Amino acid sequence: MSVKDTLLTGSAHVNGIDIAYVDKGEGDPVVLLHGFPDSHYLWRHQIDPLVEAGFRVIAPDLRGFGESGKPQEVEAYDMRTIVNDVVALTQHLGIPKAHIVGHDWGAAIAWMYAFLMPRRVDHLAVLSVGHPGVFSTPSIEQRKASWYMLFYQFPGVSEQLLRRNGWRLFKEIMGGEGDHQRYPRELAKPGALTAALNWYRANRSPESELRVEANFPPVLAPTLGIWSTGDKALLEEGMTGSVKFVKGSWRYERVEDASHWIPLDQPEIVTKLLLGFLGTEKAAAVPTRRRRL
Amino acid sequence: MTVEHTGVDVVVVGGGIAGASAAANLAFNGLSVVLLEKQETYQDIVRGEWIAPWGLREAQTLGVEEAFGLGGAWEIREWTQWDETVDPAEAETVDMTRFVPGVGGPMSFPHHEVCALMAEQAEDNGATVVMGAQRAHVTAGTHPEVRWTHAGQEHLARPRLVIGATGRGCTVGRQVGVSMATSVHHWGGGLRVTGLDDWPMDVQAMGTEDEKMFMVFPQGDGNARLYINFPTANRKLYQGPEGEKRFIADFELASLPDRGKAVYSAAKPIGPLKLWPSVAMFPEQPIVMDGVVLVGDEAGNADTVLGTGLSCSLRDTRAVCEVLTGGDDWSPGAFEGYLAERKFRMDRLHFGADIIAKLYCEYGPAAAERRRRARGLMAENFAASVTGLLNMVPPEDVPDFGFSEFFAERLFRERA
């Protein structure tokens, strides 16, 4: 009797896990990667306009979220594993190369996908989360009592603590942002909360995950970075500073009047930015000669 | 032609908190349940939106507590009692989170959303949920019958038992011959609002000023349910066009910090304004008979000012479900425990509601003086606040002296 919030069109067993996805339209493929604690449904305002503009849109529920598999062990949420989910899904769908778009954790996955597999990436668009090599963390003063706590507290927070007293702590952390009314209902499904928290338990934060690996391969794809002024967790420098890791062309857009959830708060602007960017630039040359040691 | 539903154990008439929680629990325990709700979809029709910690414990026992949290319930942690006889800065605050072990503070929530989730839970558990069931009619007896219409089609079920849970309308009660004695102490109005960004979401306000007993129950994210109780003579005050505006404007109160600006200048309605006589109802015949058991408001209730209606509903449901899932004897005799406990409980709640209504829902200089004296007594001896415990712990856990004429007489006597 409830309206199910889903646009899913299929599901595939790839990389050892069931991944549910939207596959809609014909044309150059665009892969849309959501973050925490969303699903493909984060992109509901962008999917149809992209399809109408002649793209084939692939929007998976990343592992642990939505209708995809939800392993309960932390190790299953290593970033490389999740990147491989996306690789395996695109291979399964017969897509050798795609535009990659990501928000939040999905942006972290998109960055990693782009520098590990440059030949599989056409254009790269990242929302909210900058390149993992940029060290940028808001000071205590800049953080408001809001969902920034996701980043800094979730690794130590238990499922039981978040759920008790009618999900009070979770609601306090989320405030009124994103799909805040939907999230607890999604996370209350069997195993969903543990799976979602495992992203944090396995990887600390989207930004810090790869910090220890000082030498990142350059991002060759033309890259669009989008950040919103209402983001309480992430600083603009995190995004603008990403330029030095991008060898392809770099564009930066700052969006006003949007919380961290830019695709929900400014749906038309996000659609417009994507349509004005995807497929418009040439990639930097893939280095062909081996570097001399 | 009538569609006959066979093999039904229980038909629950009324899909509010009482009925939906019963259906969810009974279906979970493997009974064949039909739940009839007259609304096509759940709407805000301004029903109870505050549940005491002891009611939440009943919800846990029934296994329906998640419907509250997921339906938008917000745990409220503090209760501040304001009053025209007290400087806003001096108003006292009680931490409500520690009264019932394993439960936090009370919760405030959008009633219709929680009912919808509970009905969904009942359906997931295997119950048949009929939304838009019209003209439900119950015939009591050792082989009870329920007839209803749905989408123009007549339906009939002959369950083993019917649970009547139609609320204050007492639809089932009237059909099976249970009448109610009623009394009205005052009137009340309720409105759900948003935009209270400057009101602390941890704090519920209650207080009396002028001819208003006001309440603010936060629901998180700047939402809240506002109530005003007022003398019956003022019942036209908020009727007619712009009633909502006048209702919200009346939260400009000298007894609130900053004259209540965080409420009156910010609140925007997100539901209808409803006005009602605050009725206490006393059943005049037994609420259990062959084939029918009444629960929730349908079985009689205390003045809404107490805020225990939903907690009572869940206590009823829990008691009745325990009988139905605990054994094969569903005869009236099996519900003796329920009847005895309910009588004890309602006696206490009526007693407490009378005290609260006399204290906070009477107006004018003499009433203000009464509140001033009572507040002095409470400051002197915390035990004098015993009636307020009814909002936190179950009635049987409130000390006996709170229900003595001696206590009431002391609380209200003219001279100390």
For the domain that residue A160 is a member of, what is the CATH number? 3.40.50.1820
Average pLDDT score over residue span B122-145: 98
Q: Are residues B253 and B285 both part of a single domain?
A: no
The pLDDT tens digits of the residues spanning B213-260 come to 999 999 999 999 999 999 999 999 999 999 999 999 999 999 999 999
Quick one: pLDDT at residue A292?
Answer: 55
Domain annotation covers residue A284: no
Catalytic hit among A104, A122, A179, A231: A104
Q: Are residues B378 and B247 both part of a single domain?
A: no
Quick one: pLDDT at residue B189?
Answer: 96
Tell me how far apart the alpha carbons of residues B105 and B80 are, in angstroms, rounded to a whole number.
13
Q: Are residues B156 and B288 both part of a single domain?
A: yes
Q: Are residues B399 and B388 both part of a single domain?
A: yes
Domain annotation covers residue A75: yes
Let me know if B399 is exposed, middle or buried by CB neighbors in 10 A (0-12, 13-18, 19+).
exposed
Name which of A166, A185, A188 is nearest B74 (Cβ-Cβ).
A166
Nearest CA to B80 among B253, B271, B275? B253
Domain annotation covers residue B187: yes
Catalytic hit among A41, A77, A183, A200: A200
- CA Rg, chain A, in Å? 18
- Structural domain of residue B44, as residue ranges? 2-73+106-181+279-345
Tell me how far apart the alpha carbons of residues B209 and B82 are, in angstroms, rounded to a whole number.
9
Q: Alpha helix locations (H) across B50-110? A: 53-62, 65-70
CB contact under 8 A, B75 and A165: yes
**Of A160-164, B158-162, B245-249, B318-322, minimum mean pLDDT range:** A160-164
Task: List CB contacts of B404: < 8 A, sequence separation 6 or more.
Answer: none
The DSSP line for B247-271 is: HHHTT--TTSGGGGHHHHTT-EESS
- Structural domain of residue A47, as residue ranges? 10-275
Interface test with A, best of B40, B49, B70, B197 (most A CBs within 10 A): B70
Q: What sign for the dihedral angle of Cα B154, B155, B161, B165?
A: negative
B23 close to B199: Cβ distance less than 8 angstroms: no
Q: Are residues B125 and B175 both part of a single domain?
A: yes
Q: Are residues B170 and B189 both part of a single domain?
A: no
Nearest CA to B206 among B41, B6, B361, B373? B361
Q: Which residue of B has its CA nearest to A167?
A: B69
What residues of chain B lie within 8 A of the CB of A180, using their CB?
221
Q: Which residue among B278, B293, B316 closes a domain?
A: B278
Q: Are residues B337 and B387 both part of a single domain?
A: no
A86 close to A108: Cβ distance less than 8 angstroms: no
Residue in the block written with tokens 């539903």: B5
Q: Are residues B333 and B391 both part of a single domain?
A: no
**Local structure of residue B45 (DSSP, 8 states):** -
Quick one: pLDDT at residue A173?
Answer: 81
Q: Are residues B90 and B122 both part of a single domain?
A: no
Per DSSP (E only), the strands in A138-249 are 223-230
The DSSP line for B296-307 is: GGGG-B--GGG-
Task: List CB contacts of A276: < 8 A, sequence separation 6 or more.
Answer: none
B83 close to B21: Cβ distance less than 8 angstroms: no
The pLDDT tens digits of the residues spanning B87-126 come to 999 999 999 999 999 999 999 999 999 999 999 999 999 9
Quick one: pLDDT at residue A289?
Answer: 57
Average pLDDT score over residue span B22-30: 98
Arithmetic mean of pLDDT over chain B: 96
How much of chain B is in helix, strand and coil states, percent to nearest 5? Answer: 40, 25, 35
Establish how many alpha carbons lie within 13 A of residue B375's alpha carbon, considering only the half-sphere containing its beta carbon.
Answer: 19
Q: Which amino acid belongs to residue B366?
A: A
Tell me how far apart the alpha carbons of residues A43 and A32 are, in angstroms, rounded to a whole number.
7
The DSSP line for B176-244 is: TT--EEEEEEEEEEEEEEE--TTS-TTEEEEEEETTEEEEEEEEETTEEEEEEEE-GGGTTTT-STTHH
CB contact under 8 A, A2 and B73: no
Q: Which residue among B345, B360, B383 closes a domain?
A: B345
What residues of chain A lie within 8 A of the CB of B75, using their CB?
165-166, 168
How much of chain A is in helix, strand and coil states, percent to nearest 5? Answer: 40, 20, 40
Domains identified in chain A, total number? 1
A22 close to A57: Cβ distance less than 8 angstroms: yes
CB contact under 8 A, A171 and B220: yes
Domain annotation covers residue B101: no
Distance from CA of B375 to the nearest CA of A (A): 31
Quick one: pLDDT at residue A277?
Answer: 97
The pLDDT tens digits of the residues spanning B173-183 come to 999 999 999 99
- Exposure class string for B328-350: b at 16+ Cβ within 10 A, else e: eebeeebbeebbebbeebbebbb
Tell me how far apart the alpha carbons of residues B334 and B327 are, in angstroms, rounded to a whole number.
9
Q: Alpha helix locations (H) across A34-104? A: 44-52, 79-92
Q: Output the 3-class SS for B125-184.
A: CCCEEEECCEEEEEECCCCCEEEEEECCEEEEECCCEEEECCHHHCHHHHHCCCCEEEEE
Domain annotation covers residue A285: no
Domain annotation covers residue B22: yes
In DSSP terms, A99 is beta-bridged to A30
Q: How many CB pairs under 8 A join A and B?
A: 45
Per DSSP (E only), the strands in chain A are 10-14, 17-24, 28-33, 55-60, 98-103, 121-127, 223-230, 250-259
Interface test with A, best of B37, B41, B49, B75 (most A CBs within 10 A): B75
Domain annotation covers residue A286: no
**Local structure of residue B22 (DSSP, 8 states):** H
In DSSP terms, B276 is beta-bridged to B188
Answer yes or no: A260 catalytic: yes
Answer yes or no: A77 catalytic: no
Tell me how far apart the alpha carbons of residues A104 and A232 are, in angstroms, rounded to a whole number.
13
Tell me how far apart the alpha carbons of residues B113 and A145 are, in angstroms, rounded to a whole number.
27
**CATH code assigned at B138:** 3.50.50.60
In DSSP terms, B130 is beta-bridged to B36
Q: Are residues B147 and B289 both part of a single domain?
A: yes
Tell me how far apart the alpha carbons of residues B378 and B372 are, in angstroms, rounded to a whole number.
10
Quick one: pLDDT at residue A145?
Answer: 40
Domains identified in chain B, total number? 3
- Residues of chain A where predicted confidence (pLDDT) is lower than 50: 1-3, 141-142, 145-147, 149, 152, 207
Domain annotation covers residue B100: no
Tell me how far apart the alpha carbons of residues B36 and B19 are, in angstroms, rounded to a whole number.
9
Tell me how far apart the alpha carbons of residues A195 and A190 are, in angstroms, rounded to a whole number.
10
Average pLDDT score over residue span B43-53: 93
Name which of A1, A180, A184 is nearest B69 (Cβ-Cβ).
A184
Quick one: pLDDT at residue A285?
Answer: 75
- CA Rg, chain B, in Å? 21
Q: Are residues B6 and B17 both part of a single domain?
A: yes
Q: Which residue among B259, B278, B297 closes a domain?
A: B278
